Amino acid sequence: MMSRIALTSLVAAAVAGCAGQQQAKNGTPAVSKEERLRITNQSPFDVAVCKTQAPALSQPANQGILVGGLLASRPQVMECLVDPKNRGPAENTRLVVKTTVNDQGGSHAISGDNLTPEGIACVQKIVDARVPLTALAKGAAPVESESTFVHEVGNSPSVRFGLNPGSDYSGNVRLAQDEWCECYAGYENKAPPTLRANLDLKKGQATAADIAFDPAGTPEGDALATCLKGKMAAVPSTLEVDELKFPYRFVHFNSHATEPAADLSPELRLLQLDLVRNQRSADAAIAFGNRANAAEAYDAIVAKYQSTKDWKLIDELKAKCKTLVNTSQQWVDSIESQRQVDQTTVDLATELKAKDAAWGELEAKTREIIAATQQDLDTAKQRLAADQGACPRETQEAAPKKKK
């Protein structure tokens, strides 16, 4: 978990630094004249926010399932923090979700720094819906988990109102995107293309006077532009000068993408890869938790068989061991998917370092992380082999082995 957070921070800082952005600091920043004139609030949008169905989480809850479930909710949680009404005045926001499950039930407690009551309520609604909690068996030991999310204005998608009319209009567009999910149908497994809308705002008109998208280059992209244009036509506009023309650039990510984001610049591809890695890490944690539950269920039937020597239990033994092996295989597969993302990130960081030595720190860090992922993969493969060897066979007369 820590290595994932470290990589996220490093990638965000590296991209921001190479793009010439300032590092976010605590406290309310001074706003320069140039900033007041520049059009802002055109932050990338992760279309994974539109995925309303959360991953299936097996019961009972354990550490892996809780960590993975909350990590899988990151796109929705971070989208809460885009809205300035959910953040305090500081540039950095730290959000902590402490989860407790016992034989009476479970709860997610939200706390942190620089959160408003609206922000806490937004996150609470998400985690309660996406990580439901069921009471453990009577007398079972409580399970606790703590997940931290960090939002940095300047590095994380953010909206800030009051700079200028163009930025305020852009902020309203950005905050509305999570309500325009119908436009992103068909992009469940890939990042939508980057699009440019040319806007014309006029004094006295409640909405944009004209919205014209540049050609996307594909029928699919043009269809997305047409849908977004229709949505933007309802976004309110307030202008004191006679007219204002400026472009709005739609940059899209997808944490659930399985296809390369060739449309993005190398720097933005790094951020896209980091979002994907986050979800692959969530998958691995959930798979680990599922395997733990399967092992516990198998151990229970093995203990019953060993105490009764009832051969009628063999079919159930085989079924539960098959489930154990399947969950072990899913754990292996999820870590392998994570390792592939790590390797792609290393390759891209190496490519960028060849052009700018400043990317060397990121390359070194990603190599450390891929080495750690490989160790996790080796461990999971060893566990899979042990699980396969533990299953009873037709000709096997010895008692089956318990799993740990």
CA–CA separation, 156 vs 315, rounded Å? 52
Helix segments in 233-313, DSSP class H: 266-308
Q: What is the pTM of this model?
A: 0.88
Beta bridge partners of 250: 195
Mean pLDDT of the 275-286 span: 96
Distances in Å between the alpha carbon of 205 and those of 77, 170, 235, 244?
A: 35, 16, 11, 12
CA–CA separation, 345 vs 367, rounded Å? 9
**357-395 pLDDT per residue, tens:** 999 999 999 999 999 999 999 999 999 999 999 887 654
Residue 5: per-residue pLDDT:
42
Mean pLDDT of the 34-45 span: 82
Residue 36: per-residue pLDDT:
56
Question: Is the Cβ–Cβ distance between 58 and 120 less than 8 Å?
Answer: no
Does 119 score more than 80 pLDDT?
Answer: yes
**CB-based contacts of 300: which residues, under 8 Å, 6+ apart?**
none
CA–CA separation, 362 vs 11, rounded Å? 7
Does 318 score more than 50 pLDDT?
Answer: yes
Q: Give the gyration radius of the chain's Cα atoms.
A: 25
Beta bridge partners of 148: 96
Residue 48: per-residue pLDDT:
97
CA–CA separation, 199 vs 52, rounded Å? 31
Beta bridge partners of 236: 207
**CB-based contacts of 385: which residues, under 8 Å, 6+ apart?**
none
**Per-residue tokens: 246:** 């400026």
Mean pLDDT of the 257-279 span: 92
**49-102 pLDDT per residue, tens:** 999 888 889 889 999 999 999 999 999 999 999 999 999 999 999 999 999 999
Rounded to the nearest integer, the mean pLDDT of the chain is 90
**By C-alpha distance, which of 305, 327, 322, 321 is closest to 380?**
327
* Sheet containing 243-250, strands listed edge to edge, beginning at the edge strand earlier in sequence: 210-213, 195-202, 243-250
* Portion of the chain with pLDDT greater than 90, in percent: 81
Does 6 score more than 70 pLDDT?
Answer: no
Beta bridge partners of 201: 244
The CA-CA-CA angle for residues 121, 278, 21, to 5°, reads 80
Distances in Å between the alpha carbon of 303 and those of 308, 324, 378, 399, 401?
A: 9, 16, 29, 10, 9
Residue 11: per-residue pLDDT:
57
Does 22 score more than 60 pLDDT?
Answer: no
User: Please, what sign has the CA dihedral across residues 339, 345, 348, 350?
Assistant: negative
Residue 27: per-residue pLDDT:
46
Residue 261: per-residue pLDDT:
86
Residue 404: per-residue pLDDT:
58
Strands 45-46 and 92-102: unpaired
